[in-house]
């Protein structure tokens, strides 16, 4: 085992073969951004199915009114764990996987700035999920992923395990984000100025800033939960002068930037896909950068729109309403730029482009329903209904997850050296897009009609829309098996991919062979 | 696996990250079991703690050897500097959560409890407060003071002394830095030793203060929102002072071994930055927790 080298300089010698090391060393002790990226992506895919099966339990129970399959407490555990697994296990690590693979290739760096820390980020995350998922054996948290006090003050061992798992995820995210920032700021090839950085790099740079700013705040919030639960503090206990609403404020100070942490890298990915298949450079690159920064800035001053109904002064409601609506402006800039990029382009619709275009359309639906939720008086009706569920699945599934799927098809040939099966890819896209809408579009109506979320039973008039939704969800879940098949088939073989893969794509990643060699850009390229 | 000497140093595969993840997992799982009185929780936590310390020792030893071996060029140095800066920023944000809790409770939650009078009509609010239920809800921690009554630590006793100690230590660590830059190793070690001693003195008085609070003032972690914010803020700060002093102590040992050059001493500077950071946090604590 090539372990820590007490004689550091030894590491420099005798490494003329640049192939990957043996199995255990390669996958468990890696300092290679591509291997760690692969680990992150596979982990994310696995968690997509873990979280997805929990969603299947939820939708099976909601197929009919009344209680059919699971008891309400288990149902609550499923809604809680589904969210935690999808957010911290599927979406965030998925984007970190993309960042690991693509950032060094895009900025012309030999690796991430801090390769060992990079591996630590992954394994701490992995162990955090061992801890989180083992709560299912001792009584999983059931108070919602937002861990609101006082519900989270009750409950037993499972809650404490969740708190520590969240701490570990925080450590992983902060270390990962620092690594990304330092890579972006210090590892760029000579000549690549900040305003020449690819959009995906920009979005990740800004995402990293958000992560470093808010993950410690979440750590603080759950630490207060821990001490309230176990050591007699009264942060969230009015009897001691505390306030449960304070938890919500601290939590959402983290939670709202977290929403953008999960969508900005998606914006980055489709800002690469759309220009490639429209065969035009990205429209309004500078405005895209500033819009991203603007969204990030605004994300710090909108948090209380998640808690309009909880009770806060009118001035607070108005401030958070207006600041939230402001976000529509930079977001609108981005949507406009993507559409303008496609305008009069020589468009073709390979699988990545299908996903990217659908993201633009479906994310916009989610953005507009978000605007509706931002209106305080309207939110008093929508709050905690299925309208909210529909809203955030439009931004998180058809925004974040579908952008990642598009990104996976886009870069799979670069990663594996093989073309994926285009016909199956398109089938996967249409199944996903159609079943997604069958699942979540009816939930808008359910919510507007007043069906509350996170309840295993419902009034009979909601039955038909719920049945559509459940059937769509089963279809959506099963369709993703096709994605797994396509990905693994592409790893095993397929048509040899060229270095460029697509027609004249822009970016340094297309200048290295497919598959990308184990080590790339050991001598930095020069950007003119 | 960097190919050419002088280029950006890329470390070989390393077992430490995996060991780190597994040890942290063992530690927190042990603590979770322990505080819920399950099985061998305490033992597991201690095994985890030992593993974490072993990992820190081993990983940093590897890094120090690489550094002394001359593997880190100026680009790597800049990466480390940025990393430390952003890490300190993340620490600042962690403290922000607790300062935020203090401001929110003091300026919003407590006044609302007083005004709304929904449950506790006779509650008079104010600050410091242990809340409407006062000490009653925290059980038998208060002995010689009345129900809901507790004393606070005055700003101009131990806290002002501690402020002077920490401020002075920020100056002495800067003097140590100057000595290092002028290649005066004797003075460097001396100033560092003084800095560590000042940190230790700070911690000594902080512990005295806690003993005073617990045994005479009836001020405990369970003394409502005041006790919670007071002990969590000062406690996390004290933890950071302890860590910072240990780091500076190790840096001192490294200086005695002849590590660091006048123009190249990132680890020293990182430790000094960290020390200034705990100093700044203390100033915030002194103003918002003790004085106001």
CA–CA separation, A436 and A398 (whole Å): 8
Instruction: Give contacts of A174 with chain B, Cβ < 8 Å.
Output: 87, 90
- CB within 8 Å of B226: residues ≥ 6 apart: A241, B127, B128, B129, B130, B150, B152, B219
pLDDT at B32 over 70: yes
Residues A331, A369, A385, A439: which is the catalytic one? Answer: A331
Q: What percentage of chain A reaches a pLDDT higher than 90?
A: 93
Q: How far from A118 is each of A174, A415, B16, B90, B129, CA to CA, in Å?
A: 11, 19, 12, 17, 45
pLDDT of residue B134: 67
**pLDDT tens string A471-528:** 999 999 999 999 999 999 999 999 999 999 999 999 999 999 999 999 999 889 988 7
Residue B129 and residue B114: Cα distance in Å, rounded?
11
**pLDDT recorded at residue B122:** 78
Given a cut of 50, whether residue A306 has pLDDT beyond it is yes
pLDDT at A8 over 60: no
pLDDT in tens, A138-147: 999 999 999 9
pLDDT band at B5, cuts 50/70/90?
low
Exposure b/e, A305-335, CB count within 10 A at least 16 = b: bbbbeeebeeeebebbbebbbbbbebbebbb
Q: Let me know if A305 is a catalytic residue.
A: yes
Q: Which of A160, A228, A258, A350 is catalytic?
A: A258
In degrees rounded to 5, what are phi and psi of residue B261?
-115, 160
Chain centre distance of CA A298: 19
What is the predicted pLDDT for the residue at B116?
76
- Asked if residue B125 has pLDDT above 90, the reply is no
Over its C-alpha atoms, chain B yields an Rg (Å, rounded) of 23
Residue B224 φ/ψ region, left for φ over 0, alpha for ψ in the -120 to 50 degree band, beta for the rest:
left
- Our answer to whether residue A334 is catalytic in this structure is yes
- Pair A360, A395: CB distance under 8 Å: no
Question: What is residue A234's predicted lDDT score, i.e. its pLDDT?
Answer: 94
Tell me the chain B residues in contact with residue A110 when contact means C-beta distances shorter than 8 Å. 2, 7-8, 10
User: Does A242 touch chain B if contact means CB atoms closer than 8 Å?
Assistant: yes
Q: How far apart are CA A412 and CA A487, in angstroms?
A: 8
The question of whether A306 is a catalytic residue gets the answer yes
Residues of B in contact with A187 (CB under 8 A): 8, 79
Distance between B105 CA and the closest CA of chain A, angstroms: 6
DSSP assignment of B55-119: HHHHHHHHHHHHHHTT---HHHHHHHHHHHHHHHHHHHHHHHHHHHHHHHIIIIIHHHHHHH-SS
| Cβ-Cβ contacts under 8 Å, B18 against chain A | 28-29, 119, 123
Do A5 and B65 count as a contact with CB atoms less than 8 A apart? yes
CA distance A140 to chain B (A): 14
- Nearest CB among A161, A223, A239 relative to B131 is that of A239
Q: Is the pLDDT of residue B4 over 80?
A: no
Helical H segments across A139-282, by residue range:
157-186, 199-230, 244-261, 264-278
Q: Mind telling me how many Å the CA of A76 is from chain B's nearest CA?
A: 22
The reply to whether residue B21 touches residue A127, judged by beta carbons under 8 angstroms, is yes
pLDDT at residue A333 above 50? yes
| CB-neighbour burial class of residue A176 (10 A; exposed 0-12, middle 13-18, buried 19+) | buried
Question: How far apart are alpha carbons A324 and A260 in whole angstroms?
Answer: 13
Which residues of chain A are within 8 Å of residue B152 when distances are taken between CB atoms?
none
**B239 vs A contacts (CB less than 8 Å):** none
CA angle B30, A213, A154 (to 5 degrees): 40
Catalytic residue among A80, A203, A271, A369: A271
The whole-angstrom separation of Cα A220 and Cα A216 is 6
Name the token pair of A5: 């080298």
pLDDT band at residue A4 under the 50/70/90 scheme: very low
ipTM above 0.90, yes or no: yes
A506 an active-site residue? no
To the query of whether residue A426 is one of the catalytic residues in this protein, the response is: no
Q: Which residue of B has its CA nearest to A212?
A: B90
Q: How many CB pairs under 8 A join A and B?
A: 284
In percent, the amount of chain B with pLDDT more than 70 equals: 92
Q: Work out whether the CA dihedral B198, B203, B204, B208 comes out positive or negative.
A: positive
Tell me what the mean pLDDT of segment A2-22 comes to. 52
Concerning whether A331 is annotated as a catalytic residue, the answer is yes
pLDDT at B6: 66
Phi first, then psi: what are they for A356, rounded to 5°? Answer: -65, -45
A3 pLDDT above the threshold of 50: no
Q: Is B13's CB within 8 Å of A2's CB? A: yes
At B143, is the pLDDT very low, low, confident or very high (cuts 50, 70, 90)? very low
- What is residue A429's predicted lDDT score, i.e. its pLDDT? 98
Which of A35, A61, A111, A350 is labelled catalytic? A111
> What are A31-45's pLDDT values in tens digits?
999 999 999 999 999
DSSP one-letter code for A67: -
Whether residue B98 and residue A123 make contact (CB cut-off 8 A), yes or no, is no
Q: Tally Cβ neighbours within 10 Å of residue A34.
A: 22
Distance separating alpha carbons of residues B83 and B86, to the nearest angstrom: 5
Stretch B83-90: mean pLDDT: 98
pLDDT for residue B132? 85
The verdict on a CB contact (< 8 Å) between A186 and B79 is: yes
Closest CA to A389 of A468, A469, A479: A469
At which residue do the structure tokens 């998606």 appear? A266
Position B119 confidence tier, pLDDT thresholds 50, 70, 90: confident
Q: Examine the residue annotation and report whether A258 is marked as an active-site residue of this protein.
A: yes
Give the mean pLDDT of A266-286.
97
Contacts of A300 in chain B (CB under 8 A): none
Q: Give the whole-angstrom CA distance, residue A95 versus residue A44.
A: 9
Q: State the distance between the two ends of chain A, measured CA to CA, in whole angstroms.
A: 42
Q: Which domains does chain B have, with CATH numbers?
A: 1-72 (1.10.287.70), 73-291 (1.20.120.80)
Task: Name the phi and psi angles at B120, rounded to 5.
Answer: -120, 85
pLDDT tier at B242, thresholds 50, 70, 90 = very high
Closest residue on chain A to B28 (Cα): A164
Respond yes or no: is residue A172 known to be catalytic.
yes
Question: Closest to B97 (Cβ–Cβ): which among A109, A164, A217?
Answer: A217
Chain-centre distance for alpha carbon B134: 29
pTM given for the model: 0.94
Of A18, A315, A231, A412, residue with least CA distance to B227: A231
Query: What pLDDT shows up at residue A133?
Result: 98
Q: How much is the pLDDT for A528?
A: 77
The minimal CB distance from B224 to the residues A11, A241, A253 is found for A241
Q: Residue B25 — very low, low, confident or very high, per pLDDT cuts 50/70/90?
A: very high
Q: Is B139 left (phi over 0), alpha (psi -120 to 50) or beta?
A: left
Closest of B126, B97, B121, B111 to residue B281, by C-alpha: B97
**Is A444 an annotated catalytic residue?**
no
A82 is catalytic: yes
Quote the pLDDT of residue A114.
96
Residue A7: its chain B contacts at CB < 8 A? Answer: 65, 69
Per-residue pLDDT tens digits for A412-468: 999 999 999 999 999 999 999 999 999 999 999 999 999 999 999 999 999 999 999
pLDDT at A17: 53
Question: Annotated catalytic residue: which of A33, A34, A229, A256?
Answer: A256
Kindly report the number of other CB atoms within 10 A of residue A178's CB atom. Answer: 26
Q: Is A528 a catalytic residue?
A: no
Average pLDDT over residues B188-211: 97
The mean-pLDDT minimum among A64-68, A86-90, A461-465, B2-6 falls in: B2-6
Distance from CA of A407 to the nearest CA of B (A): 28
> Is A4 in contact with B62 (Cβ distance < 8 A)?
yes
Whether residue A10 has pLDDT greater than 50 = no
Phi, psi dihedrals of residue A385, rounded to the nearest 5°? -110, 180
- Mutate: best of B19, B64, B93, B266, partner A, most A CBs <10 A: B93
Q: Residue A18: its pLDDT value, please? A: 65
Nearest to A168 among B7, B24, B224 (CB): B24
For the stretch A235-251, pLDDT in tens is 999 989 999 999 999 99
Name the DSSP letter for residue A517: P
Residue B266 has pLDDT above 50, yes or no: yes
- pLDDT bin (cut points 50, 70, 90) of residue B137 is very low
Contact in structure between A81 and A74 (CB atoms under 8 Å): no
Using CB atoms and an 8 Å cut-off, which of residues 144-203 of chain A contact chain B? 156-157, 160-161, 163-164, 167-168, 171, 174, 177-179, 181-182, 185-187
pLDDT of B142 higher than 90: no
């Amino acid at each position: 085992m090539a372990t820590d080298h007490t004689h550091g300089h030894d590491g420099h010698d005798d490494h003329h073969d640049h192939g990957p090391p043996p199995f255990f060393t390669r996958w468990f002790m890696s300092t290679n951004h591509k291997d760690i990226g692969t680990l992150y992506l596979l982990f994310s895919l696995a968690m997509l199915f873990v979280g997805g099966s929990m969603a299947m339990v939820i939708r099976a129970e909601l197929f009919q009114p009344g209680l059919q399959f699971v008891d309400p407490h288990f149902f609550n555990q499923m809604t809680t764990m589904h969210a935690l697994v999808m957010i911290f296990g599927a979406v965030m690590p998925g984007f970190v996987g993309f960042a690991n693979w693509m950032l060094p290739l895009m900025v012309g760096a030999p690796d991430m700035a801090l390769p060992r820390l990079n591996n630590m980020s992954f394994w701490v995350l992995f162990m955090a999920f061992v801890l989180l998922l083992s709560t299912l054996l001792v009584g999983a948290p059931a108070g919602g992923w937002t861990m609101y006090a006082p519900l989270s003050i009750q409950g037993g061992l499972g809650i404490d395990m969740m708190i520590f798992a969240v701490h570990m995820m925080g450590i992983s995210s902060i270390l990962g984000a620092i690594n990304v920032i330092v890579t972006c700021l210090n590892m760029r090839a000579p000549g690549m100025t900040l305003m020449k950085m690819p959009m995906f790099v920009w979005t990740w740079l800004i995402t990293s800033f958000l992560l470093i700013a808010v993950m410690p705040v979440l750590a603080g919030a759950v630490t207060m939960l821990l001490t309230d639960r176990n050591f007699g503090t009264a942060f969230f206990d009015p009897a001691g002068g505390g306030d449960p609403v304070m938890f919500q404020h601290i939590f959402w100070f983290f939670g709202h930037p977290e929403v953008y942490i999960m969508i900005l890298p998606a914006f980055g990915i489709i800002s690469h896909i759309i220009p490639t298949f429209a065969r035009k450079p990205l429209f309004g690159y500078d405005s895209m950068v500033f819009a991203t920064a603007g969204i990030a800035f605004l994300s710090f001053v909108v948090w209380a729109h998640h808690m309009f109904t909880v009770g806060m002064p009118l001035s607070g409601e108005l401030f958070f309403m207006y600041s939230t609506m402001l976000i529509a402006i930079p977001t609108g800039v981005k949507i406009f730029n993507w559409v303008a990029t496609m305008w009069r382009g020589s468009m073709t619709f390979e699988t990545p482009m299908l996903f990217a275009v659908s993201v633009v359309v479906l994310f916009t639906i989610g953005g507009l329903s978000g605007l509706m939720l931002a209106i305080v008086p309207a939110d008093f009706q929508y709050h905690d209904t299925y309208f909210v569920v529909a809203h955030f699945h439009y931004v998180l599934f058809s925004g974040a997850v579908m952008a990642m799927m598009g990104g996976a098809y886009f870069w799979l040939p670069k990663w594996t050296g093989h073309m994926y099966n285009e016909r199956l890819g398109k089938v996967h896209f249409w199944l996903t897009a159609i079943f997604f809408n069958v699942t979540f579009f009816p939930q808008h109506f359910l919510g507007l009609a007043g069906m509350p979320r996170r309840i295993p039973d419902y009034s009979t008039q909601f039955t038909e829309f719920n049945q559509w939704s459940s059937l769509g969800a089963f279809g959506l879940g099963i369709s993703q098996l096709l994605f797994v098949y396509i990905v693994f088939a592409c790893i095993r073989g397929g048509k040899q991919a060229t270095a460029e893969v697509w027609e004249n794509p822009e970016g340094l990643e297309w200048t290295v062979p497919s598959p990308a060699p184990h080590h790339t850009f050991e001598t930095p390229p020069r950007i003119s | 696996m960097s190919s050419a000497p002088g280029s950006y140093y890329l470390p070989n595969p390393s077992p430490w990250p995996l060991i780190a993840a597994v040890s942290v997992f063992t530690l927190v799982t042990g603590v979770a079991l322990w505080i819920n009185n399950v099985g061998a929780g305490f033992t597991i936590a201690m095994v985890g703690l030992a593993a974490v310390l072993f990992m820190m020792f081993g990983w940093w030893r590897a890094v120090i050897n690489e550094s002394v071996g001359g593997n880190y060029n100026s680009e790597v140095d800049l990466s480390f500097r940025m990393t430390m800066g952003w890490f300190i920023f993340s620490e600042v944000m962690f403290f922000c959560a607790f300062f935020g809790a203090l401001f929110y409770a003091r300026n919003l939650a407590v006044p609302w409890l007083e005004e709304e009078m929904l449950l506790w009509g006779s509650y008079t609010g104010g600050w410091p407060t242990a809340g409407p239920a006062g000490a009653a809800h925290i059980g038998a921690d208060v002995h010689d003071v009345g129900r809901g009554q507790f004393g606070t630590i005055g700003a101009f006793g131990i806290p002002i002394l501690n402020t002077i100690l920490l401020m002075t230590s920020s100056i002495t660590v800067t003097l140590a830095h100057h000595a290092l830059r002028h290649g005066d190793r004797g003075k460097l070690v001396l100033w560092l030793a003084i800095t560590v001693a000042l940190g230790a003195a700070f911690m000594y008085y902080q512990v005295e203060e806690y003993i005073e609070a617990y045994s005479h003032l009836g001020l405990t972690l369970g003394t409502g929102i005041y006790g919670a914010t007071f002990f969590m803020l000062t406690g996390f700060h004290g933890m950071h002072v302890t860590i910072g002093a240990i780091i500076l102590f190790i840096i001192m040992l490294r200086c005695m071994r002849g590590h660091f050059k006048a123009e190249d001493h990132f680890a020293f500077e990182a430790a000094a930055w960290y020390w200034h950071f705990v100093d700044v946090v203390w100033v915030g604590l002194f103003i918002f927790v003790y004085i106001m």
